[in-house]
Amino acid sequence: MATVVEGGRDPRGTVTPRPQAPVPGPELASTPLVIRRREDEETVVTFPYLVWREFLAGLAAFCFLLLVSIQINAPLLSRANTSITPNPAKAPWYFVGLQELLERFPPIMAGVAFPSFVIIFMILTPYLDRNQSRRPQDRKVAIVLFTIYMCLAVAFVVIGEFFRGEAFNWDWTLILGHPGLSSPV
Amino acid sequence: MSATPDQANPVRAFVAQLWGSVFRHGLPTNDKVAARTALTNFFLHIHPVRVKKSAVRVSYTLCLGGLSFFLFILLTITGLFLMFYYIPSVDTAYQNVSDLQFVAVFGDIIRNMHRWAAHAMVITVWLHMARVFYQGAYKPPREFNWVIGTFLLLITLLLSFSGYLLPWDQLAIWAITVGTNMAKYAPIVGPYTRYLLLGGDQVAQGALIRFYVLHVIALPLVGFLLMVVHFWRVRKDGFTGGL
C-alpha cells in the first residue's frame, strides 16, 4: 500500500515533497556540515519509531530508580530541633555551590549579584548570541565560555559537598580519611 | 453467503466495534496507519507525524528532555501516594514520614523513589540545558523556548528545595535555614523575601505549610503550564536535527 504522507498533504495542508535520496553534489561534499533544508532530511514516522524509543527510555529509567530505591534509603535524621545546630549545616547539594561562593565572596556578591547575573545572562543567551551558525567550529567562544561556567558550577558544588567539614572549613578528611585511621570518618 | 468473519461472529464484531470506538485505525503495520495513529491520538499528538531521523537519534538528544518529563510524571504519582500519609503540621510531619519509611507497606520504596527521582530530575534538566546549548538549539526561531526552559530549570530547583523541608527532620530544617538565609543578603527586599517565604522569622509551622502548598500545588501547576508551552513550541518549531 502506498504511504499517505509521501507526496501527500501534511496536517497544515501543504504538499510534502517525496523525500529524495541525497545526491552528493560537489559543494555538499566539500562542506558536509551546512545547515540542511528540511526536504533533504530523511524522516521517520514518530509512531511507533520515536514513541517506542521513549517507552524504552522511560522503562529503563523506572527500573533503574526502582533498583536504587530498593537498595538505598532516603535520609531521615532525628526530628527537627531548632536548638541543636548540626555542624556543618549545609544547603541542599544544588545550592551548596552558592554556599561555597558565600564562603569566598561578600554576601552581596555571592548571594545576590552572582546568581542574578547567571539567571539574567541565561535568559538573554539566545538574544546576545548573534552567531547564526550551529556548527561547533563556528561557535568556539560560546562553547568555551559555557564550558567554563559549567565546570565552575560543578566544581563549587563538589567542593562545598565533599571538601567542607566543621564550620564549613576546608577538610581533606571527608574524602581522604583521618591520618592514622584505615577508613574515612 | 458472503458474510465477512466479523458479521458471522458477533463476539468478533463487538471487539472490532469496541476497538474502532477507541482507536480509529488498526495496528501500525505501515506508514499510513502509523501516521493516522499519531494524528488521531490525543497523547501522541504531542509529536508531529514525521520527524527527521537525525533529530531522534539517542546519541543526539540523549533522551534528556524526555527523561526530565518522565521523572516529573513519576514524581507526581509517587508524590500523590505520599500525600495520603503526610500531614503538613510540625506536630505530625516527622511521624508521618517515619511511618512511611518504616511502617507503611511499600512506603519506603515510594518515598525513596520520590527522593532519588527528584535529585535525578535536577541533574537531567541541567544536562538537557547543556545539551541544547552545545548543539546551538536555542538559536532562532527557538530563542523563547530557551527562556521558558530557563524558568523550568528554576521551577525544578524550587520544587526540589520546597520538598526538602517536608520530612521535618534535622537535615530538612537546617538545609532550609541555610538556604533561606541566602535570601537575606539581597538589598532592601532580602529580609522581606525571607519573611514572606517562611511566614515568620525562623523555619517553623508557617514555613512548613507555605513550602507544602508551594511544593504540591503552586510550583507543579506553574511547571506543568510552562512544560505544555515548552512542548508545544518544540512541536511547532520542529526539531533541530543533526548539526
Cell of B96: 508521618
> d(Cα A104, Cα A139) in Å, to the nearest integer?
32
Pick B179's closest partner by Cβ from A68, A92, A135.
A92
Residues contacting B113, CB < 8 A, separation 6+? A65, A66, A69, B74, B78
CB B50 within 8 Å of CB A43: yes
Q: At what angle do helices A114-128 and B143-165 cross, to 10 degrees?
A: 150
Cell of B71: 521523572
Taking alpha carbons only, the member of A110, A22, A76 closest to residue B99 is A76
Question: In this structure, which amino acid lies at residue B219?
Answer: L
Residues contacting A48, CB < 8 A, separation 6+? B28, B34, B37
The reply to whether residue B157 touches residue A94, judged by beta carbons under 8 angstroms, is: yes
Please give the backbone phi and psi of residue B114, each rounded to the nearest 5 degrees, phi first: -60, -45
Which B positions 129-158 lie with beta carbon below 8 A of chain A?
130, 133-140, 142-144, 146-147, 150, 154, 157
The reply to whether residue B140 touches residue A89, judged by beta carbons under 8 angstroms, is: no
CATH of domain B59-236: 1.20.810.10
Please give the backbone phi and psi of residue B48, each rounded to the nearest 5 degrees, phi first: -70, 170
**Looking at residue A22, what is its pLDDT?**
56
Residues with pLDDT less than 50, chain A: 1-11, 13, 25-34
Reported for A83-89, long-range contacts at CB under 8 A and 24+ positions apart, including other chains, are A84/B170, A85/B174, A86/B170, A86/B171, A86/B174, A87/A166, A87/A167, A88/A164, A88/A165, A88/A166, A88/A167, A88/A168, A89/B174, A89/B175, A89/B177, A89/B178
Cell of A136: 561547533
**Running along chain B, 243 residues long, what does each successive block of 10 average in pLDDT?**
64 92 84 85 86 84 94 97 96 97 96 97 97 94 96 97 96 92 86 93 95 97 97 88 68
**Which residues does residue B169 pair with via DSSP β-bridges, in sequence order?**
A79
The count of other CB atoms within 10 Å of the CB of residue B155 is: 21
Question: In this structure, which amino acid lies at residue A179?
Answer: P
**Looking at residue A152, what is its pLDDT?**
96
Q: Which of B70, B89, B122 best probes binding to A when mutated, by most A CB atoms within 10 angstroms?
A: B70
> d(Cα A99, Cα B181) in Å, to the nearest integer?
10
Residues contacting A8, CB < 8 A, separation 6+? A15, A16
User: Helix, strand, or coil here: B169?
Assistant: strand
The reply to whether residue B51 touches residue A76, judged by beta carbons under 8 angstroms, is: no
Question: In this structure, which amino acid lies at residue B168?
Answer: W
Q: Count of CB contacts below 8 A, A vs B? A: 239
> d(Cα B17, Cα B6) in Å, to the nearest integer?
10
List the single residue in B with minimal CA-CA distance to A130.
B139
- ipTM of the assembly? 0.89
CA A61 to chain centre: 17
**Looking at residue A31, what is its pLDDT?**
44
Cell of B56: 531522534
The reply to whether residue A89 touches residue B177, judged by beta carbons under 8 angstroms, is: yes
Q: Specify the DSSP class assigned to residue A19.
A: P
Taking alpha carbons only, the member of B172, B170, B162 closest to residue B209 is B162
> d(Cα B174, Cα A88) in Å, to the nearest integer?
10
**Looking at residue B86, what is its pLDDT?**
97
| HSE, side-chain direction, 13 A CA sphere, residue B80 | 5
